[in-house]
Amino acid sequence: MKILFLLALSFVFSHSAIAERAAFSETGKEVYFRTNTKNSLTVLNMKTGGESKRSISLPNDEKIEFKAIARGQKNEFFLLSDNALWAWKSDSDAAQLVLKNSDSNVEYRNLTCHKRSGNIVIQAHLKDEDRNGSSYALFYYRPGNPLARTYLRHLWKDVILCPHYLEDGSLLFSVAGDLWHGNLSGHWKSKEGIEYVNLEAYRYAPISTRSAYNGTSSWEGVEEIVATERKVYVLRSRMGGSGWGAVMRLDAPSNGKNDDWQVNDDKVVEALRSLEEIMDNGGAAFLAVSSDRKIVHLSKGRYHYLVKDDGIAVKITQRGSVNTN
């Protein structure tokens, strides 16, 4: 794999969890980051390199820490807390409640929004395993409809993480560290009255590094995903432990929603041939893609980077200070 050397954007940044996310503004002039401060986001000005804090008020003066952020339509963003989804517009100082989770066993961790439809997929951690032995789940929200749990047959017990919508409405996500591609369709309700939606998918790229031995495992898997028009960018890092790993990229699926969602050896080989490492990384990469899907933001330690699909880096020249603590 060839290494792509990028120019660093020199800003201070701290990490606390892989699942955290960042989001470009619609104009591409800012990047918004979740912080460890309640009711707050950090805003990076892409022109000056300066940073600022945005305080966001909630109904009933509620104080919470946002876990993730995703861009919606125009200047709208969706913010996620442990048990709620919020809508916020960047020209406003207040967020509005979209849905509240009443299940104490479910903790929200990450989300993705399909810009054109407004549909949202939420990644959740289950405090207690469900009846299928799973501690992870994806939930699907269509505006005006009940929240539905995704049903991915035969993969109940695997670790399912970091969903990311593609432009065509299909979905990328991680299963046990590998990159999967699928589509949501077919709503149904269980005997217990639980809303479900089918998730048809296949393993697009088996890029996890699995191992088993008498010691501390260094197994790496996909824990962050974004996609441009032609490429998928992932953070492949240790599944637990130090979080050390690398930011990588590979060709994006070209089949879209018309796929039969079956395993295809040719697709797997083509995807793996295109895989290349951009840089190693010791923590969260805070991957974010611009609204025109041409530029990706990533971070490593004290530095920020912008990269295009051809490997050319764009540098913000003026120093700033971005600290999410």
Domain ranges for the chain, please list them: 9-307
- Identify the CATH assignment for 9-307 out of 2.60.40.10, 2.40.50.140, 2.120.10.30, 2.40.160.40: 2.120.10.30
CA distance 58 to 87: 10
Look at residue 23 in the predicted model and tell me its pLDDT: 95
pLDDT digits (tens, 9 = 90+) for 267-303: 889 999 999 999 888 888 889 999 999 999 988 877 7
pLDDT digits (tens, 9 = 90+) for 125-163: 998 877 666 788 899 999 989 899 998 776 656 788 999
pTM comes to: 0.88
**And the tokens for 217?**
């495992």
Phi, psi angles (nearest 5°) of residue 135: -110, 5
Tell me the helix, strand and coil percentages in the chain, rounded to 5. 5, 45, 50
- The answer to whether the beta carbons of residues 307 and 243 sit under 8 Å apart is no
β-bridge pairing 245-251 and 276-281? antiparallel
Q: List C-alpha distances in Å: 65 to 7, 36, 310, 317.
A: 32, 6, 37, 31
**Residue 83, C-beta contacts closer than 8 angstroms, at least 6 positions apart:** 100, 101, 106, 107, 108
